[in-house]
Amino acid sequence: MKRVFLLIATNFAILAVLSLTMQLLGIDAALENETGLNLPGLLVFAALFGFGGAFISLFISKWMAKRSMGVHVIEVPANSTERWLVDTVKRQAERAGIGMPEVGIYEAPDVNAFATGWNRNDALVAVSTGLLNNMTQEEAEAVLGHEVSHVANGDMVTLTLIQGVLNTFVIFLSRVIGFFVDRVLLKNERGQGPGFFIATLVAQLVLGVLASMVVAWFSRQREFRADAGGADLAGRQKMIAALERLKGNHEQSALPAQMAAFGISGGGGMARFFMSHPPLDERIAALRNNR
């Protein structure tokens, strides 16, 4: 959940900065001629900025996670718990065929963990203190296997490529809409007017939200695969027990407001379209049915 939330949030911020840069440097104006938009040129620039923003988000994802979550990376284990965490991740990483990730702990009451990093051999796996305090060692082992599987499956790169494609269309379509509003609806024939900038901004915001829904859908599909990977690395019953523990923990206490839209245990209504994880009942059922 945190992995996807950080990727989307960082991408939004970078995309906004790149969009403003395009306007300040006059790139938007340069792509417009007397008769209309230079669509091929706009598409090229949209792809450069769209994929550029997504890959910048990917390359700084580990740094952002450490800073924003206050992750303490275990360099030399200070106690038996830290030693167990490092040894477990090392064993699972070797079985998964990836380089040893950095292992960290962050202070948070919620039962959670995440993995991030720009490639399979330069990743970070971090767990919350809430997870360490509320899960058995077998359940925590399954959660670690789930996160190591995310790394082994290349999920961050996959979501970044998807985000890059969506960014390209967001940048491209928002400017086409801005041009249409400015030139056709507002009848402005003297270059880009306020209508273009306002319409482009609004369109980019709306299209960006829709793009986030698509990224969240792909993320939900990858969660089933990571659950299966965690079951392979730690044992199916341990993975099921870990998910049931998460479900019980959620039923006892609500998630923090800033994470509610990406609730790990699922939800209903429109919130489901923004969930990065499928409902826990569906994930448990998939494991029991050997999905």
Q: Which amino acid is at 217?
A: W
Q: Which residues of 16-41 are buried (b: 16+ CB within 10 A; e: fewer)?
A: eebbeebbeeebbeebbeeeebeeee
In a domain, 54, yes or no: yes
In this predicted model, what pLDDT tens digit does every residue of 65-110 receive, in sequence order? 898 889 999 999 999 999 999 999 999 999 999 999 999 999 999 8
Number of domains in the chain: 2
Domain boundary among 105, 138, 171: 138
Task: Give bridge partners of residue 117 from the DSSP assignment.
Answer: 123
Q: Which domain holds residue 106?
A: 70-138
Together in a domain, 38 and 81: no
In a domain, 206, yes or no: yes
Task: Give the CATH number of the domain where residue 98 resides.
Answer: 3.30.2010.10
Q: How far apart are CA 107 and CA 249, in angstroms?
A: 17
Together in a domain, 252 and 162: yes
In this predicted model, what pLDDT tens digit does every residue of 155-178 receive, in sequence order? 988 888 898 889 898 988 998 898
In a domain, 211, yes or no: yes
**Of 32, 147, 223, 244, which is the active-site residue?**
147
pLDDT beyond 80 at 17: no
Together in a domain, 57 and 195: yes
C-alpha torsion sign, points 213, 216, 217, 218? positive
Together in a domain, 116 and 184: no
In a domain, 58, yes or no: yes
In a domain, 81, yes or no: yes
pLDDT at residue 240, rounded to an integer: 96
In a domain, 109, yes or no: yes
Together in a domain, 186 and 164: yes
Asked if 94 is an active-site residue, the reply is no
Together in a domain, 108 and 169: no
pLDDT at residue 254, rounded to an integer: 37
